[in-house]
Amino acid sequence: MAKGSSEARLKRTLEIEHVRTQRVPPMPLWRVLSNRYVLTMALAYAGAGGAAIVLTLWMPQLVRSFGFGNARTDFWPQFRSGLHPFACFFGLETRTAPASACGTT
């Protein structure tokens, strides 16, 4: 197939698709947010996000219920470990984030 014919065919196809497309008129924000598809996707997103948050909070208890030790499943050690990236970012030296762990020494 010659290069010129494929370019012409592509241009023709794009022109046909451009003619067939319907423009969506501008809508106010409340109209967009009250669209059933937008609301459905928002509900799915909120449900997935909520499930992820709940799972991260319940995971230590789930691990402990399977008989593993609680050395790393208590809430406060996990909370302090979660602060480590922020301590490194702000250049703080804490018990859970020594300066050597942040690569600042």
> pLDDT (tens digit, 9 = 90+) per residue, 28-86?
999 999 999 999 999 999 999 888 888 888 877 777 777 666 555 566 666 666 676 77
One-letter amino acid for residue 19 of the chain: V
pLDDT in tens, 7-28: 899 999 999 988 887 788 888 9
pTM above 0.95, yes or no: no
Distance between CA atoms of 85 and 96, rounded to whole angstroms?
10
